[in-house]
């Protein structure tokens, strides 16, 4: 019915969406959207280094993303600048250094647009193995780390006092983020990875009654967005990565409509201002 490349794209995209769902929930619970962006933008530096030193692309992206998050931790401990400013500096510096390095390497020609916006229609069977293999690894780690991650999201000191090692959970969380970014880069691209993390999770919030349900729903909604986006891109001949994000956004807008559980969304938004201190 479909061409092979389309089926491969569908399988890889759904695998990725399922993987990032729970991780995306933690990104919005912990208010780390900009942090995810920073790690993703640093991926281009990873691409440049992989070309320069002839390293495996995913490995190189993973190392750079992990290094950037560790660097952020160190800079935060110094406490001179706000996290926001540090993220802005790291994010765009890493992206720009990557672009500059690529420009210097006149001997290589790379498809920059492919890295920035992804090329899901070009995934190979080996890529599918990576997405699903890596995805299972990431999901298993999240299940294993669920309690310390969730408890330290609510309050790190509470988690520490009651013996859950929030620092370790945070470190593993960053490594998982780096891994997911390395896997996702090819599919949605550096600039759009964060949207795949955040939008399905934000959509799931409306319907979730517990953190666990929200994590599962985020995966399901992400998979729907990938499917819808890919079919849309096939039908309208639009770029696949952005089409997936547009589909995700469409689902999010749907979730804002006032149906079912009356006024739930309104109450939830109002309590942003009336949170507990």
Partner 1 sequence: MLEFRKPEQKPLVLMNNAGVRRNGRWLVRGVEFSIARGEIVTLIGPNGSGKSTTAKAAIGVLKPDEGWVEKMPGLKVGYVPQKLAIDWTLPLTVERLMTLTGPLRGREVEEALHSTGIAHLARAEVQHLSGGEFQRALLARAIARKPDLLVLDEPVQGVDFSGEIALYDLIKSIRNQTGCGILLISHDLHVVMAETDTVICLNGHVCCRGTPQMVSQSPEYLKLFGSRAARTLAVYSHDHDHTHLPDGRVLHADGSITEHCHPDDGHHHGDHAHDDHDHAHDHVHGPDCGCGYKSRLQGYDDKETRRV
Residues that bind partner 1 (CB under 8 A): 28-31, 79, 147, 150-151, 153-155, 157-164, 201-202, 205, 208-211, 213-214, 267-269, 271-272, 275-277
CB of 197 to partner 1, least distance (A): 13
* CA within 13 Å, CB half, 149: 23
Residue nearer to partner 1 on the CB measure, 95 or 214: 214
CB of 79 to partner 1, least distance (A): 8
The alpha carbon dihedral of 217, 196, 41, 90 has a sign of negative
CB of 267 to partner 1, least distance (A): 7
The Cα–Cα gap between 243 and 237 comes to 10
The Cα–Cα gap between 264 and 72 comes to 37
Residue nearer to partner 1 on the CB measure, 88 or 156: 156
The alpha carbon dihedral of 44, 47, 51, 53 has a sign of positive
CB of 195 to partner 1, least distance (A): 16
Give the count of beta carbons closer than 10 Å to the beta carbon of residue 246. Answer: 16
Residue nearer to partner 1 on the CB measure, 113 or 268: 268
Residue nearer to partner 1 on the CB measure, 32 or 174: 32
For helices 240-256 and 166-188, angle between their N-to-C axes, nearest 10 degrees = 120
Residue nearer to partner 1 on the CB measure, 45 or 201: 201
Contact present, 12 and 131 (Cβ < 8 Å) = yes
- CA nearest neighbour of 113 among 241, 238, 237, 249: 241
Query: What's CA 174's distance to the chain center, in Å?
Result: 11
Residue nearer to partner 1 on the CB measure, 102 or 218: 218
CB of 187 to partner 1, least distance (A): 25
CB of 156 to partner 1, least distance (A): 9
């Amino acid at each position: 019915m479909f061409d092979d490349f389309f089926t491969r794209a569908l399988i890889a995209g759904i695998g990725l969406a399922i993987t990032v769902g729970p991780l995306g929930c933690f990104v919005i619970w912990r208010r780390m959207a900009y942090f995810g962006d920073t790690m993703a933008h640093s991926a281009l530096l990873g691409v440049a280094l992989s070309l320069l030193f002839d390293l495996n692309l995913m490995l190189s992206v993973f190392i750079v993303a992990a290094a950037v998050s560790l660097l952020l931790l160190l800079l935060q401990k110094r406490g001179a600048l706000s996290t926001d400013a540090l993220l802005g500096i790291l994010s765009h510096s890493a992206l720009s250094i990557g672009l500059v390095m690529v420009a210097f390497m006149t001997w290589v020609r790379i498809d920059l647009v492919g890295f920035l916006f992804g090329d899901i229609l070009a995934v190979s069977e080996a890529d599918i193995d990576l997405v699903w293999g890596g995805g299972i690894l990431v999901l298993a780690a999240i299940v294993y780390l669920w309690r310390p991650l969730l408890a330290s999201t609510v309050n790190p000191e509470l988690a520490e006092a009651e013996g859950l090692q929030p620092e370790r959970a945070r470190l593993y969380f960053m490594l998982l983020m780096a891994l997911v970014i390395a896997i996702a880069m090819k599919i949605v691209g550096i600039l759009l990875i964060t949207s795949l993390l955040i939008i399905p999770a934000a959509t799931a919030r409306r319907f979730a009654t517990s953190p666990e349900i929200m994590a599962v729903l985020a995966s399901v909604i992400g998979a729907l967005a990938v499917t819808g986006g890919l079919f849309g891109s096939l039908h309208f001949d639009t770029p696949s990565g952005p089409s997936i994000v547009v589909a995700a956004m469409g689902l999010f807008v749907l979730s804002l409509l006032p149906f079912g559980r009356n006024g739930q969304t309104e109450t939830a938004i109002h309590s942003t201002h009336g949170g507990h201190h």
